Amino acid sequence: MALNTEEEQTEDYLFKIVLIGDSAVGKSNLLARFARDEFYPNSKSTIGVEFQTQKVEINGKEVKAQIWDTAGQERFRAVTSAYYRGAVGALLVYDISRRQTFESIGRWLNELQTHSDMNVVTILVGNKSDLKDAREVTTAEGKALAEAQGLFFIETSALDSSNVSSAFETVVREIYNILSRKVMQSQELKVKDTECLTNAKTVVLQPEGNQEAVEQSKQGGCCSS
Ligand SMILES: Nc1nc2c(ncn2[C@@H]2O[C@H](COP(=O)(O)OP(=O)(O)O)[C@@H](O)[C@H]2O)c(=O)[nH]1
Ligand SMILES: [Mg+2]
């Protein structure tokens, strides 16, 4: 038992998370703020790193988020499938001060669904919430779109740091929860399998003339569920 607990603690999770959204919405700065607590007022694609690994603590466990940033290729609509491959999480970013970037969200969602090989935990991120006077997309509009598409939603500012960690952590926590549930389900299945074996023995012990009842108990049992 003690060995098990130790194993659990040293278990390593690495989640690939991609940043997507139109050019200049602040993807690179969200990552710079989250991973290094830095901000670049006049950033161009030059600060783009391929990915950055960041530790996140979930329920006292350390999880590693491998966060991928584009090198500006979204400007040419040329984000390749390699970028999406293996991703389990996504931050879909728009700029609350440029409606056009909000209108692109549908296209990005399509792209994500086309290129990713599984259900990706996605959060819609309205960035640049500090630009209050220049706002072109209301919070309610962002929320409504997220609800309609089944996404998480948050507004952030890479400039003043608000909600940046929350945005990444929400995604990591949800992936972790899904994974935990899957692990628990597979453990339950193992328990069920054992019960099935026990039941099978009971079935063999049924009197011969009662074959129908035997079949029913097989079908109603855990093996078929
Ligand atoms: N006011 C404000 N500007 C931001 C914010 N995030 C990024 N920017 C600026 O927006 C521009 C584009 O940011 P960048 O991170 O390169 O966008 P990317 O093309 O999506 O990676 C840069 O000039 C940033 O300084 C923010 O939260 N607030
Ligand atoms: Mg960038």
pLDDT the model gives residue 45: 53
Ligand 1 neighbours (beta carbon < 6 A): 23-29, 40-43, 127-128, 130-131, 157-159
Ligand 1 site-directed mutation target among 37, 43, 74, 160, most atoms within 8 Å of CB: 43
pLDDT the model gives residue 212: 40
Domain residue ranges of the chain, discontinuous segments joined by +: 7-179
SS percent in the chain: helix, strand, coil, step 5: 50, 20, 30
Closest CA to 168 of 35, 24, 70: 35
pLDDT the model gives residue 221: 42
Give the separation between CA 166 and CA 77, rounded to whole angstroms: 28
List the chain pLDDT tens, one digit each, 225 residues.
Answer: 444 444 455 568 899 999 999 999 999 999 999 999 999 998 765 555 589 999 999 988 899 999 999 988 888 878 888 899 999 999 999 999 999 999 999 999 999 999 987 789 999 999 999 999 999 999 999 999 999 999 999 999 999 999 999 999 999 999 999 998 988 888 887 776 666 555 443 333 333 444 443 333 434 444 443
Atom number, ligand 1, closest to the C-alpha of residue 127: 27
Give the separation between CA 25 and CA 41, rounded to whole angstroms: 13
Closest CA to 109 of 16, 21, 207, 190: 21
The set of residues, in sequence order, having a beta carbon less than 8 Å from that of 224 and lying 6+ positions away, is: 218
End-to-end Cα spacing for the chain = 30
- Supply the pTM of this predicted model: 0.81
Specify whether domain 7-179 bears CATH 3.40.50.300: yes
Q: Which residues neighbour ligand 2 (ion) by CB within 5 Å? A: 27-28
Ligand 1 site-directed mutation target among 29, 33, 165, most atoms within 8 Å of CB: 29
CA of 7 to the centre of ligand 1 (A): 41
